[in-house]
A and B are shown apart, each in its own frame.
Chain A
Amino acid sequence: MDLKKITSIALLITLVVGIQLTTQLTGTSYYLTQLTMTMYSCLLIIGLCLVMGYAGQISLGHAGFFAIGGYTSAALTTTNLLEALERGSGCVGLLNKMGLLVSSTSLFGEPMLTVHPWLACLLAIALTVLVAFAIGIPVLKLKGHYLAMATLGFGIIIYRIVLAVAFLGEADGISDVPGFTLLPGLTVNGDIGNRITNYYIAATILIIGFVLLLNLIDSRVGRALRAIHGAEDAADAMGINTARYKLYTFVISAVFAAVAGILLTHYTGGISPGDAGVMKSVRYVAIVAIGGMASLWGALSMGGLLNFLSLRGFFGSYDDAFFGAILILIMLFAPQGILRLSLWNKFKGGKKEVQ
């Protein structure tokens, strides 16, 4: 980590703390709820930025990975296994002996036995990795329109599945998802009293993910990815295993999406088919495009700003239309992203020429 990166991260942390203190002082701490949700979405967006900006592959199915993470975790932590245990299911019994199940009482006072959130989380991530590999190996051989359509198709299949499977709550989705105790005292849930803690949990996870990606793109892998983006055949000729790098990036970003899905689901206490919709995927792509594709900082800042405004209902019933319009405007007039408009470059003195 060079000095510049450390100062930027330090500034970011200061900003996070500053926002929290400001809301505290002005008595507007209700903003923290939306900010927390925004930060989880940002986690997905920086992951997508890695695929789109650095590996140069479009993915119109990232809401699908978000849903795989969120739904798996939600289903496992809300399905009552008590009956299966009494029936003598060996698998459930084994899990129970290993202490991986938690007992609780439901809203109606019935005893519940569910999978521990940590186990659910790990299983959700494992499933995501599996699906990402299974989809990624064939899909990433495609280019351009075909890749876009194939990932779009993947997203729609996931949407159809969560909409049609009774176990996943069909059109209602899954609600009453319990909190996720990361460490004793640190629980991801939507309690008002727990708001500040949750804000910092989300910020910490987001910043850790962000630093990981920043380091990744400055590493050998990152340089290989940029070479692939620039000219795939040339990169291939230079001995870069393009297929493998593209696949790994895809899987990493799928995991980011799944983690965002898991944490956001535990935070808001539920997930619905809308979260897996195509429009969500398109929105993520829009935000990455606005941030300037190959710019993690752009993706992070635009993701933060636009998600927050959207969650505050700033765009009213024109929410989707706004994202559609901004998508077109950016692609027509500033395909390098809003932060790299020529005006902005002049303002910076045109010092740094970014390819």
Chain B
Amino acid sequence: MSLELFSQYIFAGITYGIIYAIVAIGFNIIYNTTGIINFAQGEFVMLGGMTAISLNHFLPLPLAIISAVLFTMLMGGLIEIVFIRWLQKPSVLRLIIITIGISILSREAALHVWGDSVRALPYFTGNVVSSVDILGASISPQVLWVLAICYCLVIILSLFFKFTPLGREMQACAANRLAATLCGINAKNMVTFSFMLSAAIGAVAGCVVSPITSSQYDMGTGLAIKGFTVAVLGGLGNSMAAVAAGLLLGIIEAFSVGIGFPLAFQDAIAISILLIILFVRPHGLFGNKEAAGLKEF
């Protein structure tokens, strides 16, 4: 394998990997504050991309994307308020089924609003054929956009959780909900915020990746599974590890295509990794076994 080909695969892997990582962080944010795995996480990505595409017909691209992100954020909050907020001590099984139902409903709603055609946002700069040479590999400028925006997002998120009052309140809820409530934090609002936040970052991912992978009403499930794989691979709840795990999965997938692994089974790789990691190391590659022992697997 030549250096050009090698760096080509690396870049392809990183692009997909960072998207998986963003979806995984979405899972983590909600999981940390509520202990719920939101099976509708992939639908936020779809919703963000599709809304931006529709808005782009009469709004300039940056404005369309910002509105789409805000819209998805609103939907995320709304979903939490309507379906989850008022439940009293719901069982895990019940929450799983509810979020699966939400995922189906969003998908079907998208099907009826947008139809089953494949759409895409225009490239942020340049077009399909424009490319930049890096280490001998031809990279679409969009890939650089994806990388730049997603890395900024990860950094902003970690700063948000470390330094802003709201972020710290959310962290407090994640660490110990009862103690946080006793300190005067409204835990229920934090849950709503966490849904809004993870919907928003899902929507950002949906927008930046749309020119490369296109958007379709049913893209959510596949992304959700891979995002979950990455979240578990990194250790559920650990966002920085999710980024590393996301890049790992992305690169594995890219190279599996490179060595001639059939494309049709590409999804099977991620799922096999998920199954293996669940069976062998459910606390994740970077997770702490003792800390994980306190969680319900």
Contacts and interface: CB of A to CB of B under 8 A. Distances in A.
Given A144-B297, A149-B274, A321-B104, A161 B268 contact: yes
Most B CB within 10 A of own CB, among A149, A328, A332: A149
Interface in B66-113: 83, 87, 90-94, 96-98, 100-105, 107-109, 112
Contacts of B163: none
B101 A279 contact: no
A144 B278 contact: no
Contacts of B268: 156-157, 160-161
B28 to A, nearest CB: 13
Contacts of A285: 97, 100
B297 A148 contact: no
Interface size class of chain B, counting residues whose CB lies under 8 Å from the partner chain: 35 or more
Nearest to B270: A153
Contacts of B275: 138-139, 150, 153-154
B124 interface: no
Given A156-B225, A332-B83, A279 B271 contact: no
Most A CB within 10 A of own CB, among B39, B103, B271: B271
Nearest to A137: B279
B265 A156 contact: no
Contacts of A141: 279
Contacts of A176: none
A118 interface: no
Contacts of B104: 279, 282, 320-321, 323-324, 327
Interface in A233-282: 278-279, 282
Interface in A323-355: 323-325, 327-328, 331-332, 335
Contacts of A97: none
Contact of B96 (A56, A144, A317): A144
Contact of B98 (A144, A317, A332): A332
Nearest to A329: B101
B110 to A, nearest CB: 11
B41 to A, nearest CB: 12
Interface size class of chain A, counting residues whose CB lies under 8 Å from the partner chain: 35 or more
B233 to A, nearest CB: 12
Contact of B279 (A138, A164, A328): A138
Nearest to A324: B104
A58 interface: yes
A327 B108 CA distance: 14
Contact of A328 (B36, B102, B225): B102
A142 interface: yes
A324 to B, nearest CB: 3
A164 B108 contact: no
A318 interface: yes
Contacts of A309: none
Given A58-B93, A325-B105, A328-B101, A146 B297 contact: yes
Contacts of B108: 318, 320-321, 324
Contacts of B17: none
A289 interface: yes
A145 interface: yes
Contacts of A318: 108
Contacts of B109: 321
A321 B104 CA distance: 7
Contacts of B96: 58, 144-145, 148
B297 A331 contact: no
A289 B93 CA distance: 10
Contacts of A302: none
Contact of A144 (B83, B221, B296): B296
A138 B279 CA distance: 6
Contact of B272 (A148, A157, A327): A157
B221 A278 contact: yes
Contacts of A279: 104
Interface string A46-89: 00000000001010100000000000000000000000000000
A327 B232 CA distance: 26
A298 B43 CA distance: 31
Interface in A147-179: 148-150, 152-154, 156-157, 160-161, 163-164
Contacts of B103: 324
A312 interface: no
B94 A144 contact: no
A219 to B, nearest CB: 25
Interface string A8-42: 00000000000000000000000000000000000
B221 A153 contact: no
A153 B279 contact: no
A317 B39 CA distance: 23
Interface in B58-72: none
Interface of B: 36-37, 39, 83, 87, 90-94, 96-98, 100-105, 107-109, 112, 221, 225, 228, 232, 262, 264-265, 267-268, 271-272, 274-275, 278-279, 282, 296-297
Given A153-B274, A157-B271, A325-B105, 4 more contacts: A145-B36, A161-B265, A321-B104, A324-B100
Interface of A: 56, 58, 60, 138-139, 141-146, 148-150, 152-154, 156-157, 160-161, 163-164, 278-279, 282, 285-286, 289, 317-318, 320-321, 323-325, 327-328, 331-332, 335
28 contacts: A56-B93, A139-B275, A139-B278, A142-B297, A144-B297, A145-B36, A145-B37, A146-B232, A149-B274, A150-B274, A152-B225, A153-B225, A153-B274, A156-B225, A156-B268, A157-B268, A160-B268, A164-B265, A285-B97, A320-B104, A320-B108, A321-B104, A321-B105, A324-B107, A327-B101, A331-B101, A335-B90, A335-B91
